[in-house]
A and B are shown apart, each in its own frame.
Chain A
Amino acid sequence: MLKALRSFARRKSPWIMHVPCGGCNGCDIEVVAALTPKFDVERFGVLQKGTPRHADILIVTGVVTAQILDRLKRIYDLTPNPKHIVAFGSCAVDGDIFREGYGFAGPLDEVLPVDIYVPGCPPRPEALIDGLNKLLKRLK
């Protein structure tokens, strides 16, 4: 009973934090677009938070570069458990065209445990909502 309530609450109140790594800003604009009145993710209880301490879901966009690597790991450690990661955009999923660049520090899933992939360059806001929805259905 209590467990069911807890998992229901976790599904109904995912607070996200947007972590831009070394992207071109295209994905960042699409993430922010999902928060605007047109797409309105607040109807699913999603709130954007500026600090990893308040967040449940980290939305990582862009290539994981050598420079951001340590900071990304640190942000992940600052987030309280249970936490989830969304890899948003082709760069975060596998590196895309930056795969052979000198600053590339591995695709996101080799650095941190990724829960869901949202491919696209950039993905549309609907894709983010769909990805969040699929992630939330898996939560317990």
Chain B
Amino acid sequence: MIEVINLMVGLLIYPGLAFSLAIGGVFYWLYRKVRARLQARIGPPWYQYFMDLIKLFSKESVIPYSSRGAAMVLAPIFSLTSLVLVAAMMPVGSESIFGFDEDLIVTLYLLAIPGLAMIIAGNVSGSPYGSVGSSREASIMVGYELPYVLSALTVGFHLRSLSISRIVSYQLESGAFFMKYPLATLAFLMCLLPKMGRRPFDAPEADTEIIGGPLTEYSGLLLGLFEVANGLKWFVIPAFTVNMFFGGAANPIEFLAKCLGVVLFLSVLDIIHPRYRIDQGFRFFFKWILPLALIDFVRSLIWP
């Protein structure tokens, strides 16, 4: 009984849904605020993300006649579930609640699911814009997933361990990995931009060209679930980066401060760049980012 309660609290409150959503929503607001300030605007108030969520949940959800039924409802749920599971496994501070020995592999798999859910969402919603959006998402995924996984596995191979808690405790003893593997860190950070749907790699959701991309036909509750997933991404992905390359942290406050650094770095990259065409983005990943990731991956194998 106690275990079940612990499990539910872990999944739904700390460090699962509620905590991650609160922090992620604030980080997302911060991104919008920084963008507004850099464009000499005032920007939205701090509760903007939560008000958007409540409004979307209170609106009518339309499921279009041309959509293919259940998959349209399931896609946001897939996205949300995988992100909540990752959030529960992620060590916040030095200890993780649901961490186990191979959680790096599981995290990498689960973090690929939101992209996959986008592809499903675009394809089943029965809109041409959705199909274009999902084909773009699929192409950019082929580009970024390989260097992303390689640079994450660099750390795993260095330690001969696939446990995120072990990676964090090693870094707390002997220095963060971004000193030892700067190229892998750079490759990892670049792969986060398309993973979070940010410029210059936001071609899948380019709202000036293909309206809403995969989300064109979504409305109300279902769109709100995708927004929740987006907010969770703003916490989970920076948290994963901090744990892997920036040394984790001994306590939650320090951890959130480091996440904030990653969020600001990604926000500024997003704001100062225009959008790449899909082939330019794809070429960028294969020409520049994959070699960077490979160099450090081979280094971790032969000279750890």
A90 CB, min distance to chain B CBs, angstroms: 29
A79 CB, min distance to chain B CBs, angstroms: 8
A71 interface hit (Cβ, 8 Å) = no
A10 interface hit (Cβ, 8 Å) = yes
- Whether B207 lies near A50 (C-beta < 8 A) is yes
- Whether B42 lies near A6 (C-beta < 8 A) is no
Interface residues of B in 33-79 (CB under 8 A from A): 36, 39-45, 47-48, 50-55, 58-62
- Whether B55 lies near A56 (C-beta < 8 A) is yes
A51 interface hit (Cβ, 8 Å) = yes
Complex interface: chain B residues within 8 A of A81 (CB):
59-60
Once the chains are docked, how many angstroms separate the CA of A35 from the CA of B277?
25
Once the chains are docked, how many angstroms separate the CA of A78 from the CA of B54?
21
Smallest CB gap from A8: residue in B: B51
- Whether B220 lies near A80 (C-beta < 8 A) is yes
- Whether A12 lies near B47 (C-beta < 8 A) is yes
Smallest CB gap from B56: residue in A: A13
Complex interface: chain A residues within 8 A of B54 (CB):
5-6, 9, 13
Once the chains are docked, how many angstroms separate the CA of A13 from the CA of B45?
11
B183-222 interface code vs A (CB 8 A; 1 in, 0 out): 0000000000000000000000001100110011111100
- Whether A51 lies near B211 (C-beta < 8 A) is yes
Counting chain B CB atoms within 10 Å of each CB, the highest count among A13, A40, A43, A53 belongs to A53
User: How many A residues touch the partner, as a band?
Assistant: 20 to 34
B3 CB, min distance to chain A CBs, angstroms: 33
B233 CB, min distance to chain A CBs, angstroms: 18
- Whether B58 lies near A9 (C-beta < 8 A) is yes
- Whether A51 lies near B216 (C-beta < 8 A) is yes
- Whether B52 lies near A45 (C-beta < 8 A) is yes
B223 interface hit (Cβ, 8 Å) = yes
- Whether A9 lies near B59 (C-beta < 8 A) is no
In the complex with contacts A51-B216, A53-B219, A54-B223, A13-B42 CB distance below 8 A: no
In the complex with contacts A37-B39, A37-B41, A50-B212, A13-B55 CB distance below 8 A: yes
Complex interface: chain A residues within 8 A of B62 (CB):
53, 78, 80
Complex interface: chain B residues within 8 A of A101 (CB):
none
Once the chains are docked, how many angstroms separate the CA of A54 from the CA of B56?
9
Select A40's contact among B42, B59, B207, beta carbons within 8 Å.
B42
Complex interface: chain B residues within 8 A of A6 (CB):
54-55, 58
Listed A/B pairs (7) with beta-carbon separation below 8 Å: A10-B58, A12-B51, A13-B52, A49-B207, A50-B207, A54-B218, A81-B60
Interface of A toward B, CB cutoff 8 Å: 5-6, 8-10, 12-13, 37, 40, 42-43, 45, 49-51, 53-54, 56, 78, 80-82
Q: Give 10 closest A-B pairs by Cβ, nearest first.
A: A9-B54, A50-B211, A80-B60, A53-B219, A40-B41, A12-B51, A43-B42, A81-B60, A9-B55, A9-B51
Interface of B toward A, CB cutoff 8 Å: 32, 36, 39-45, 47-48, 50-55, 58-62, 129, 207-208, 211-212, 215-220, 223
